[in-house]
């Protein structure tokens, strides 16, 4: 293990060899490796116990976690925390509990007739020590959901939480320490330097959720250890509103998805494509939708703040830049700079020189583009390939199928926004520029497992059919080869 520690120190020169953060990180990792070596295939009852402990921890301390998130954001809408963080986390754990026995059961696989009476199966084997790097935007759920899948799969888990949500990290770390041995599950806090050291550990698997730029660095670091990695990134997720769809309903659902958590959601609608004849109707519908969703404006606890001043100013600069490039700016409410509350804002037809055209927004700003026909809409989406999510509002099955088959995206939601993420039985993840690998559902359990192929050559006494292919080769051997070649 000393060589691992030295390798980390070399990759992260900002951390001196004597710092307690690195020593603590290395110590937890070493203990989890030892824990895995003591019990490499935890029983069903052991895994179930851990999942129930995790469920109880979130369920009984939801109020404390909600208050911590509110402190970190300055204002985090309680109903959004309840839906996305608390209910989302509990639902993820319940799903793993309900399906644990089925997921653990080995899967029978077909064996070629020429190798009978052998039998084949696939056993999902724990990988060992799993690392999880969670972002700040949904710091509870995006920590707990992958933890639940990794524990269900029988692994030891270390989870690094974001330095931008220190209160939430502190609360969850304390609760985990009170409920789990550190060689089973540990929460890691600290700044960017600790995150870099964390990434450099030779985990058996790493899941990262965050920006594309950081994801590229994570991929480069994990490659040094040949650590398999799932990258949950983001990108620019489009909304396509078909001409015949009820524009007011589509706009209401789109604006809800954009304003939820102040747009700080990896699958938030990034931009909207409306038919060229529907632009004015969309703008009118957006004003109406804002008044419906936030009848009392933003100066209350129902609208979430941008995480900090830096990100508030970043978003404001995007608006100013788009306006300088000739875009019409339509602000739907009154922003409150003192509390970092930025009103939902439409940016009409930003050109490709505008920063917002190319950058991930991660806030309540909504560029609006027009298209002439569906092929034109797809062509515009192709400028920002591989979105994490694709939203389509259409009444026609043939139309939705045409779009989904011609746009490569991580997920698709038809006639709504955001909800696909909360479906536990559907895999979640990106493709291409929006990430690699899937989790949630059975895919989450499998992501943290080794698919161990097992062939059992039982034989009849000492005889097996394959012995007919042993040397010395005879006419029977040649006949067997001919048969196998034609009928595998």
Comparing CA positions, the residue from 125, 186, 128, 124 lying closest to residue 155 is 128
Q: Which long-range contacts (C-beta less than 8 Å, at least 24 apart) are formed by 198-201?
A: 198/25, 198/131, 198/133, 198/158, 198/160, 199/131, 199/133, 200/7, 200/8, 200/11, 200/12, 200/224, 200/225, 201/4, 201/8, 201/25, 201/26, 201/29, 201/131, 201/158, 201/225
Comparing CA positions, the residue from 257, 232, 341 lying closest to residue 80 is 257
Tokens of 319: 């608006």
CA atoms within 13 A on the CB side of 321: 18
Beta strands, E only, 183-305: 185-188, 205-209, 229-232, 238-241, 271-275
Q: Which long-range contacts (C-beta less than 8 Å, at least 24 apart) are formed by 22-25?
A: 22/194, 22/197, 25/188, 25/194, 25/197, 25/198, 25/201
Place of tokens 């600290």: 190
- Catalytic-labelled residue, pool 266, 281, 328, 353: 266
Determine whether 75 is an active site residue.
no
Structural contact between residues 68 and 89, judged by C-beta atoms closer than 8 angstroms: no
- Catalytic-labelled residue, pool 80, 85, 232, 446: 232
User: What DSSP state is assigned to residue 436?
Assistant: E
CA atoms within 13 A on the CB side of 38: 9
SS3 state of residue 97: helix
Using CA of residue 457, residue 458, residue 462, residue 464, what is the dihedral sign? negative
Cα gap 80→364, rounded to integer Å: 15
Cα gap 291→281, rounded to integer Å: 16
Determine whether 232 is an active site residue.
yes
Tokens of 385: 């390939």
Active site members:
232, 266
């Amino acid at each position: 293990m000393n060589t691992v520690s030295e390798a980390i120190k070399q990759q992260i020169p900002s951390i001196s060899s004597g710092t307690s953060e690195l020593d603590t990180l290395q110590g937890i990792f070493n203990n989890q490796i030892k824990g895995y070596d003591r019990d490499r295939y935890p029983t069903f009852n052991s895994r179930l116990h851990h999942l129930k402990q995790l469920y109880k921890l979130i369920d009984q301390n939801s109020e404390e976690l909600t208050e911590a998130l509110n402190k970190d954001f300055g204002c985090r809408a309680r109903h959004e925390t309840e839906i996305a963080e608390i209910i989302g986390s509990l639902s993820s754990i319940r799903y793993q509990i309900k399906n644990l026995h089925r997921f653990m059961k080995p899967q029978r696989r077909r064996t070629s007739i020429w190798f009978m009476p052998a039998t084949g199966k696939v056993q999902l084997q724990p990988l060992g020590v799993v690392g999880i790097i969670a972002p700040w935007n949904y710091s509870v759920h995006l920590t707990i959901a992958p933890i639940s899948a990794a524990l269900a799969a029988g692994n030891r888990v270390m989870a690094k939480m974001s330095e931008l949500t220190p209160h939430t990290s502190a609360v969850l770390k304390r609760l985990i320490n009170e409920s789990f041995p550190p060689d089973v599950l540990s929460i890691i806090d600290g700044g960017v330097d600790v995150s870099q050291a964390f990434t450099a550990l030779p985990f058996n698997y790493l899941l990262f959720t965050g920006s594309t730029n950081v994801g590229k660095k994570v991929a480069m670091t994990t490659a040094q250890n040949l650590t398999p990695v799932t990258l949950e990134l983001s990108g620019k997720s489009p909304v396509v509103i078909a001409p015949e769809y009820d524009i007011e309903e589509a706009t209401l659902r789109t604006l809800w998805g954009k304003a939820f958590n102040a747009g700080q959601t990896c699958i938030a609608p990034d931009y909207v494509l409306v038919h060229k004849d529907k632009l004015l109707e969309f703008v009118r519908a957006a004003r109406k939708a804002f008044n419906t969703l936030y009848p009392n404006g933003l100066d209350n606890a129902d609208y979430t703040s941008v995480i900090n001043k830096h990100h508030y100013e970043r978003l404001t600069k995007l608006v100013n830049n788009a306006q300088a490039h000739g875009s019409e700016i339509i602000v739907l409410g009154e922003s409150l700079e003192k509390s970092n509350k930025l009103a939902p804002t439409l940016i009409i037809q930003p050109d490709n020189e505008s920063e917002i055209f190319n950058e991930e927004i991660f806030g309540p700003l909504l560029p609006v583009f027009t298209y002439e026909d569906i092929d034109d809409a797809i062509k515009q989406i192709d400028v920002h390939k591989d979105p994490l999510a694709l939203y389509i509002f259409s009444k026609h099955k043939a139309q939705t199928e045409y779009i989904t088959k011609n746009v490569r995206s991580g997920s698709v939601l038809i006639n709504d926004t955001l909800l696909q993420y909360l479906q536990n039985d559907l895999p979640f993840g990106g493709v291409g520029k929006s990430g690699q690998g899937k989790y949630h559902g059975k895919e989450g359990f499998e992501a943290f497992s080794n698919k161990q192929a097992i062939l059992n050559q039982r034989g009849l006494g000492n005889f097996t059919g394959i012995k007919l292919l042993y040397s010395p080769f005879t006419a029977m051997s040649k006949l067997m080869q001919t048969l196998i070649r034609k009928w595998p």
